Each structure stands twice: as structure tokens, then as C-alpha cells.
Structure 1
Amino acid sequence: MTFFKPWIAAAVFVLAGAAHAQTAPLYQSLGEKPGIAALASDFVDRLKANPRIGKMFDNIKPAYLKEQFTDQFCELSGGPCKYDGETMKNSHAQLAIDKAQFNLVVEILQGTMDARGIPFTAQNQLLAKLAPMHREIITVE
């Protein structure tokens, strides 16, 4: 004899919801795809406007750069996006980027996240996922 046990159904729904919520808390903290796209757009605008680093982005179409950052941040944060752009090593190989320039880009990203009201914990999580890329981006000692 089979009995419907509502508490089992409720537990399954709660666990399924909790599992989904745990899969991408960073993605959610960044505002999912619309929030990440807004972050990427603001970030690119700030990069291009910065007098110390902006010229490095003169030959890159802003819309393309915004799309690439959106996909990359989205994928790194656990979202459903797929970054299929160039590798960091290939895209930065000829740019002669030093540590100071890399750190400036990080500062601009932090300032952008602050301005967008992204929680400090989420900022740190995203930066931690981006940090290992410094080995492929910094090409000048």
C-alpha cells in the first residue's frame, strides 16, 4: 500500500531548491546575467576613460570587450554562460603588461563593483577567481 507523504515531497523540493541555490551563489550575488552585463559595461567604460590605461583599449571595440567580460565573469561566477574568447595568454602576449598596469585594472574593477553595490564578499570571490590569470596577463617584469 503506497501512501502519499507530503513531508517527503516538501523535503525533495526544499533540497532541490537548496542545491540549485548553492550551485551559483556568486552568480546570483553579481545580479545574474543582467547584473554581470551591467558590471562589464561599466568596467569597460571606466577602463577606456582611465588616463593611465585607457589607450591600451583603443583598438578594441567596446561592445566586443563588454561581451567578452560578461561571458568570462558569468562563467567564472558559476553562471550558465560560456566564455569562448581568446586565451588570456594569447590576447595579452603582445601588450607588454606589467604588474602596475595589472593592479590598476584590478583597482578599476574593484571601484566598479563598489559603485554597483556588489557585496564585498562577492567582490572577493570574483577577484579570487580572476587572480590566477595574472600569470598569463603580466608579460613584463
Structure 2
Amino acid sequence: MKPLLALALALAAPLATAQPAPRTVLPGTAPLPADDKLYQALGGRDAIQAFTDDFYDSMLADPRLAPFFDGINMKHLKRVLADYFCVVAGGPCVYDGVDMKNAHAHLGLSKGDFNALVEHLQRAMARAGVPFATQNRLLARLAPSHRDIVTR
């Protein structure tokens, strides 16, 4: 699945310049697109919450990633990340969490950790029936956060 990450990173730059007028801004990010087509393609807020819950459940079952979540309020984290995905997708949600850099600074995540995280997200979206092209559209919008999440 690593080629998909490379594809998502490659797609991120053109998307950043080709978007319509900004809709909202997440902490520490550039303005997001004004349309909600990706949000609709993902199935809306409930569908995003469902694949986000599955995403976290699968990461917690992965011995490579589970230690990063020790002592974390998973119910809160699942809601906040679903809101983040929703906003990134152009949906009407409000993200009230911290920016990605501050949220992950203390974790010491490597490129391998990040790639494992992306694989779990892709699998969760696939299990939720999100079409492959739609998965890639979300990953492309999330790709710039890589530089804030990977710290070692």
C-alpha cells in the first residue's frame, strides 16, 4: 500500500492550488475547499464516524501502533478525528481539536508508523465500502499533515 501513500502525496500539491474559495481553516493548516463533494462521496458524517471508529479499533489491535494510544480517551479521540476528516472532506463539521503538529509532537512517530496508520485508514474505508478513488481523494487532502505527524 506504500505506492498509494506516494500517490496521495503527489496529488496533494495540485489539489492545494486547484481548490475553489476557502470554506474553513483547521488549526495549523491552509484553508479548505468550499465544496462538500468529497464529504458526500464519503457518505456524510455518520459514515465518516463509522470508518473512523473501525480505523482506531484496528490500530489498537496492531502491536506496532497500540502503544501510542496508552492512556488516551478513545471515545473523544474517535469523535475528534471524525470531525477532522469531515472538515478536510468539506463537510459541515467543526473540528475543535489541536493542530496535527501539537497533537503528535510528543509521540516520536516514524515514517513506518505513519505508513502503518495510512494502511489501517485505507482498510477501514474499504471495509466501509468507500470507493478506491474516493479514498485517494481523502488521502490526498490529508497528505500534507505527514510533515507534522512524522517527527523521527
Runs of 4+ residues over 4 Å off in structure 1: none
Match of 1:4 in 2: none
Q: Would you say 1:130 and 2:139 are equivalent positions? A: no
Match of 2:116 in 1: 104
**The structure with more radius of gyration:** 1
Q: Report the structure, 1 or 2, having the larger helix content.
A: 1
How many angstroms does 1:23 deviate by? 2.5
**Aligned partner letter, 1:124:** N
How many angstroms does 1:69 deviate by? 1.1
> Mapping of 1:14-93 within 5 angstroms?
23-93=35-105
Give the Cα–Cα distance (whole angstroms) in 2 for the partners of residues 36 and 115 of structure 1.
12
Match of 1:7 in 2: none
5+ residue gaps, structure 1: 1-21
Give the Cα–Cα distance (whole angstroms) in 2 for the partners of residues 59 and 31 of structure 1.
31
Aligned residue for 1:79, secondary structure, equals: coil
**Aligned partner letter, 1:112:** A
More deviation, 49-58/130-139: 49-58
TM-score of the superposed pair, with normalisation by structure 1: 0.81
**Aligned partner letter, 1:135:** R
Greater relative CO, 1 or 2 (CA 8 Å, sep 6+):
2
**Percent of pairs with identical residues:** 48
TM-score of the superposed pair, with normalisation by structure 2: 0.75
How many angstroms does 1:120 deviate by? 0.8
5+ residue gaps, structure 2: 1-33
Structural RMSD (CA): 1.2
Deviations 1:9-66 (A, max 9, x none): xxxxxxxxxxxxx921111111101101111111111111111111111221110111
Aligned residue for 2:67, secondary structure, equals: helix
Aligned residue for 1:114, secondary structure, equals: helix
Give the Cα–Cα distance (whole angstroms) in 1 for the partners of residues 105 and 121 of structure 2.
21
Aligned residues: 119
Aligned residue for 2:115, secondary structure, equals: helix
